[in-house]
Amino acid sequence: MHPIYILRHGETLWNIDRRLQGRLDAPLTDKGRAQAAAQGQVVADLLQTHPDLKIYCSPQGRARATWEIARGALTGRCNMTPG
């Protein structure tokens, strides 16, 4: 059985206001961008023990923004396929 890891998007302005976002997007906060960078390191560490790890990302703007920051820790090791 393969493990499943789920990462949440970084904090947004609407998270601070405790507003539901649904399909609407609010920008990441500075804290959210820092969270995204930290998640990138977690994924980089996971790739050391799980080199065949598959990564899927929601098309929501906040999730994509989080992933774009996080994947900075994965330079040369990650390709993104839209879909």
Q: Classify residue 66: in a domain, yes or no.
A: yes
Q: Classify residue 3: in a domain, yes or no.
A: no
Q: What's the pLDDT band for 52 if we cut at 50, 70, 90?
A: confident
Query: Which domain range does residue 46 map to?
Result: 13-74
Q: Classify residue 48: in a domain, yes or no.
A: yes
More confident residue, 65 or 53: 65
Q: Classify residue 58: in a domain, yes or no.
A: yes
Q: Classify residue 53: in a domain, yes or no.
A: yes
pLDDT at 21: 75
Taking only the tens place, the pLDDT of each residue in 60-70 is 899 999 999 99
Q: Classify residue 5: in a domain, yes or no.
A: no
Q: Classify residue 2: in a domain, yes or no.
A: no
Taking only the tens place, the pLDDT of each residue in 3-45 is 888 889 999 988 887 877 777 788 999 999 999 999 999 999 9
- Residue 46: C-alpha distances to residues 6, 32, 50, 62, 74 (Å): 12, 21, 6, 22, 11
Give the number of domains in the chain.
1
Instruction: For residues 79 and 46, give the distance between their C-alpha atoms in angstroms, rounded to a whole number.
Output: 16
